[in-house]
Structure 1
Amino acid sequence: MGVIDRLTASSWQRSGVAVLTGALPVLAFPAPSLWWFAYVALVPWILLARSAPTGWRAAWDGWCGGFGYLVAVHHWLLPSLHVFIFLIAALLGALWAPWGWLVRRFLGGAPAPGRGIAALLVLPSAWLVVELVRSWQGLGGPWGMLGASQWQVGPALRLASVGGVWLLSFLVVAVNVAVAELASVPGSRRPAVAALVATATAASAAWAWAPRPRVDARVRIAVVQPGIVDGRDSGERRFELEEQLTRRLAGQGVDLVVWGESSVGFDLGDRPDLSRRIASLSRAVGADVLVNVDARRSDQPGIYKSSVLIGPNGPTGDRYDKMRLVPFGEYIPARSLLGWATSVGRAAGEDRRRGTAQVVMNVGHGLRIGPLVCFETAFPDMSRHLAQDGADVLLGQSSTSSFQNSWAPEQHASLGALRAAETGRPMVHATLTGVSAVYGPDGQRVGPWLGTSASTAHVYDVPLAHGTTPYVRYGDWPVHGALLVLGVLCVAEFVRAIRRRRSGPEPLVPPSRTAHGSPVRPGH
C-alpha cells in the first residue's frame, strides 16, 4: 500500500488530506516567500486526485483542495469574516472540482500515448480558468493567484511583461504536473522530461525576446506612512501626524507626495480647513499631494473612497473614486440575505459607493499618475488600462491596518512588483500602516520597504520608462489560450462520445470458445 493509500484509508481522512495538500502553496507567498516551493507545492494534491478510485472522488478531492487553498491564502481575514471565510472557501472551492476530475482523467490509470503531453496543456489551462472565474470582483477578486508567488524572481517578472501573472500561473502549474508525472507515471517519464525541457526552452525564449524597459527619466516621490493611530479622535490625530511628516519633506526636491488609503477621514467639501492645510503643505514641499478621502460625500449621497490631488492652490479637480470594493469589508453582497454578517465580524455596516471610470491625473512637470485604491492593485487589468491611458507611474493607496500582525501587508505589497513588470511602469504602494514599497518598471524593488512598525516619510528616486510591454499590447492572451485548449478538449470529448454511441455498446460477456480455442457460433 502506497503512502497516499495509507493516509486516505477512510473517506474523511482523504478529504482532510486533500484540504491540507491544497493549502501547501501558501508557503510560496509572503511572509514565508518560499517562491521555489510553488513549483512542487501542487504535486501532493495532484497525486491524491490522480489516485482517486472514481471521477466523482477526484472531483471531491479537487473541491476539498480548493477549500484548503482559499482558506490558506485568505487566513488573515479570519478575524473579520469569522465563519464566512469557511463558507466562501467552500463555495469557491467547487471551482477546482473539474480540475480534480481532469487530473484523474489525464494522469490516472495506465499510461496512454499522448495523454501525458495533453495533461501539460489541459491541467494548467483548467487552473487558469479557475483563477479567471474567481478573479471576478464579486467573488472576492484575484488575491492569491499562484503566479503572484513569483514576485521577487527576476526572470519571472520578465515573463510577466509578456503574459502577465496569468502566464506565470500557467508555467508554475505545468511544472507541477510534469513533476507529478515523473513521480507517479512510469510510462510518461520521458515525455514529462521532454515537456520540462520544452517549457524551459519556451520560457527562456520569451525571456530573451521580451523588450527590456529603458529608463528615460527619474522622479522623486515621497510616501507618507503615519503608522497605527488608535483611540478617540484618531482621524484628527492621524491627519496631524501626516501633516508633521509631510512638512519634513520641505527642501528635498520631491515631485509628488502620496498619502495612504483613508488618510483623510473627512469630506473636503465639508472641511475646507483641511483642504487649506494640505494646500499649505503642497506650497511648503513644492509638490502636489495625493490624499485618499474615506468619508460621506457632501455633493453626492453615500460614502466613497477617493484619491484626491491637492496642489498649492487647493484641490486640482482630479479625483478618482474607487471602483472595485472589497466584499464584506466595504459592502455586503446581497445585504438583505447576508446582512447578519455584521453581527459576527467586522463587515461593512453600510455599503460604500463605487466610482464609474479610471482616471489618469496630471501632476505637473509632465508627470501623469494612475491611482488605484487598496484591493484594486490585485487586478492586472486595471493597471494595464492605466498604462494604455498614458500613466507614467502607477500609485496604489492602501491601508491593511486591520491586519497588522498577519501576512497580509507583505502579500499586498508584493503585488506591486507584478503590476510594474506587467505594464513597464513603476509602481508606488503607499499605505497608512505598512508595508509601503516602490518598484521600478521592471518590477525590481526600489529603496526600502516601510514595515508595519514604521511611522515616517520616505523619498524614493523612481525610474520612469515609456515602452509598451507585450502584456499591455496583447492583454490576457494566456487566458484566451487556456479557454481555447479547454474548448478543443470539449469538442474532442463530444466527438468521442458520439462515436461510442454509434459503434454500440461493447458486449458484456465474451463469446464462449471450444477446447481448441475457436468461438462457438450460434446454433452449433
Structure 2
Amino acid sequence: MGTVTRGRGPGPERWWRAAAAVPAGALPALAFPAPALWWFAYVALVPWMLLVRGAGSARRAAREGWLGGLGLVLALHHWLLPSLHVFLLPLAALLGLLWIPWALLVRRLLGGTPAPRRAAAALVLVPAGWLLPELARSWQGLGGPWGLLGASQWQVAPALRLASVGGVWLVSLLVVAVNCAVLLLITVRAARAPALAGLTGCAVLTGAVWLGAPRPQESGRLRVAVVQPGPVADGADSVERRFALGERLTRQLAGQRPDLVVWGESSVGADLAARPDLAGRLAALAAEVGAPLLVNVDARRSDRPGIYKSSVLVGPEGPTGDRYDKMRLVPFGEYVPARSVLGWATAVGKAAGEDRRRGGAPVVMTLPGGSGARIGPLVCFESAFPDMSRRLARDGAALIVVQSATSTFQDSWAPAQHASLAALRAAETGRPVVHATLTGTSAGYGPAGERVAAPLPGSASTAAVYELALARGTTFYVRHGDWAVGAALAALAAYGVAEGISRRSLSGPAPERPAPLVRTARGWPARRGR
C-alpha cells in the first residue's frame, strides 16, 4: 500500500509535516536574546515557509501555520512556564491561530512554481501578512508586543535607523522580505530575478535610510544612576531588606554627581503617603547624593481603593507630587483576565492573587534642581509597546525611564530580552532610555539606540551611573507614527480587491439555460416563453 499524501487520511506525511511545523516555527526565537543570533532572523522563516508552500491543501497550510505559530510563541515565552505552568500550552495554541492567514497567503503566493509577477507580489504581501499576527498579539490582553520579529535586530545599527523612520514594524517587514527572497532564490529558478531585485531593494532602502534619516543632534548630557539590589531571598521581611539594600547602594553614589537616581519596579512596598518614615528616608537619600530619586511603589494606595504600581519622584524635600500609575498590566502576572472564569490559574501558577489597578494617563515629570530635564516613566511590561514611548516623546520627555523587576525569571532569557527592548524604544523616539531593574539586566541606551555601557548582570548588587546624550528634535516615527503598518494593510486590502475582481471576471456571467421544448397546436416544437 502506498503512503497517503493527500486527502484527510492520517498518512505518515501528514504527521511528519505537523511534527516539523512546531520546531520550524520556533526557529526565529534564536535571533533574540539570550542566543542573540540576530543574523539568523534573515533566514529563520525559510524552513517554516518551505513547509507551508508545499502543503497539499489550504487546510494543511492552515494547520502548519497554526502549529508553527504555537512553536514560535512557546519558544519566545518558554520562561513563563514556572508562572503559568500547564496554562502556557493552551495560551500558545490560542495565539498560534493568528498565523493561519499568513500561512494561507504563503501557500497562495509561493506555492507551486510562481510566475515572476506573483513572486514579486509575494515580496510585498508576505511581509505585510506577517504583520497581521504581530498586530493582533500586540493587544495587551494577548500578551502584548513581546518578541516582534523586528525587535531581534536591537543591536544592529542600520536596523535601528530603520526603526527611527518606521518603528519596529518597518524592521519586521524588511526581515520577512529578505526571508521571502531567500526562499525564492533556492526554490524557484524562474523567480530569481524578482528575488534578487527584492534583496537589492531591501539593501537600497536600508542604505537610503542610513544616509538620509536625520541623526539625533545632541542638546546636552544627563547623568542617570541605576540602583540594582540584586537577588534577595524570599521572606516576610524581603521587601524591607531590599529597601535597606537600595539605601546602602544609593549612598555610594554620593560625590558622583548624578542628575537622577532610578530604583527598579516594586522597590518600595508601602504607600509613601501612609508611611512618612519611608518618605523621609528617601528624601534624606536625595539630599545626600544631590539628586532626586525615582522609586516604584507597589502597594495599596491610601487615597483610593486598590493596589497600584506607581513611579514616584522624591526630592530632598520629600515626594514632589509627580506620580505615574502603570497603565498596561501583565495578564496573569498583575491581573487575571475574566477572573470569575480563569481564577483557577492562581492555584497552579504564580498568577496575581489580587488584580492591580490601572492608571489613567501617561505622565511627564520635570526633575527638580539644576538640570530641569523632563522624564517619561514606564513600568516593566510597558516598554514593549512602541506607542507608549512615542507618546512620551511627543509630550516632551527628554529621557525615558523603564522600571522593571524580572526576579521571577532571573535565570531565563527574559531579562536580556526585556532590556533589549529599550534599544528599540530609544531608536524609535530619538530619546535615551534607561532600563533599571531589581535583579538585572539593567542597561542604558543613547538616543540612536546605541548601548552606552555594558549591562549589569542579573546577579550584581550594585549602582551604576550612565552618562546619556540628550537629543533635540523628533524622529520621523514620532511625527508620523505607524505609517508602515498602514502601508502594509493597504497593500493587503488592494490584493484582496484585485483577487476578488479577478475571480469574478474569470467566472464570467452564468450561461443562459434554454427554455424547455413544448408542442404547439400543430405539433411543431417551440420554446416555452418565446
TM over 0.5: yes
Q: d(CA) in 2 for partners of 1:333 and 1:97?
A: 25
Conserved in 2, the CA contact under 8 Å of 1:129 and 1:479? no
Match of 1:115 in 2: 118
CA contact (8 A) 1:62 1:97 kept: yes
Correspondence for 2:494: 488
Q: In the aligned structure 1, how far is the partner of 2:350 from the partner of 2:402?
A: 23
SS at match of 2:262: strand
3-state SS of the aligned residue for 2:270?
coil
- Is 1:153 matched with 2:156? yes
1:185 partnered with 2:188: yes
2:405 is aligned with what amino acid? Answer: S
Q: Which runs of 4+ in 1 moved over 6 A?
A: none
1:465 and 2:468 aligned: no
Give SS of 1:117's match.
Answer: helix
**Matched residue, 1:252:** 256
Tell me by how many angstroms 1:332 deviates.
Answer: 0.7
Q: Residue 286 of structure 1 corresponds to which residue in structure 2?
A: 290
Provide the residue aligned with 1:431 in structure 2.
437
Corresponding position of 2:527: none
Summarize deviations over 1:486-510 as a string: whole Å, max 9, x none: 11011112212322332559xxxxx
Does 2:232 match 1:226? no
What amino acid is aligned across from residue 265 of structure 1 in structure 2? G
Displacement after TM superposition at 1:13 (Å): 1.8
CA shift, 1:111, in A, is 2.3
SS at match of 1:114: helix
> Are the counterparts in 1 of residues 158 and 206 from structure 2 also a CA contact under 8 Å?
no
Query: Pairwise mapping of residues 46-445 of structure 1 onto structure 2 (< 5 A)?
Result: 46-230=49-233, 231-364=235-368, 365-445=371-451
TM-superposition CA deviations, 1:343-369 (whole Å, max 9, x none): 111011111000010000000322000
Amino acid at match of 1:394: I
Per-residue Cα deviation, 1:266-297 (whole angstroms, up to 9, x for no partner): 11122110000000001111111000000111
Contact 2:427–2:449 under 8 Å retained in 1: yes
- 1:111 & 1:228 partners in 2: Cα distance? 56
Q: Distance in 1 between matches of 2:460 and 2:510?
A: 73
* Structure 2, gaps ≥5 residues long: 6-10, 512-530
Instruction: Describe the SS at the equivalent of 1:457.
Output: strand
Give the whole-Å Cα distance in 2 for the aligned partners of 1:151 and 1:313: 39
Secondary structure of 1:141's counterpart equals coil
CA contact (8 A) 1:368 1:393 kept: yes
Deviations along 1:305-351, one digit per CA (max 9) or x if unpaired, are: 00000001111000000000000100011111111001111011111
| Runs (5+) with no aligned partner, structure 1 | 506-524
C-alpha distance after superposition, 1:171-191 (max 9, x if no partner): 000000000111111211111
Q: SS state of the match for residue 71, structure 1?
A: helix
Letter in 1 for 2:114: P
With normalisation by structure 2, the TM-score equals 0.93
CA-based RMSD of the aligned residues comes to 1.2
State percent identity of aligned pairs: 67
Q: Distance in 2 between matches of 1:111 and 1:439?
A: 44
SS of 1:111's partner is: coil
Give, in whole Å, the separation in 2 of the partners of 1:225 and 1:504. Answer: 73
CA contact (8 A) 1:116 1:181 kept: yes
CA shift for structure 1 position 209: 1.1
Give the total of aligned pairs.
Answer: 499
1:276 and 1:139 mapped to 2: Cα distance?
41
The aligned counterpart of 2:516 is none
Residues 119 and 323 of structure 1, relative CA distance in 2, 3 Å threshold: same
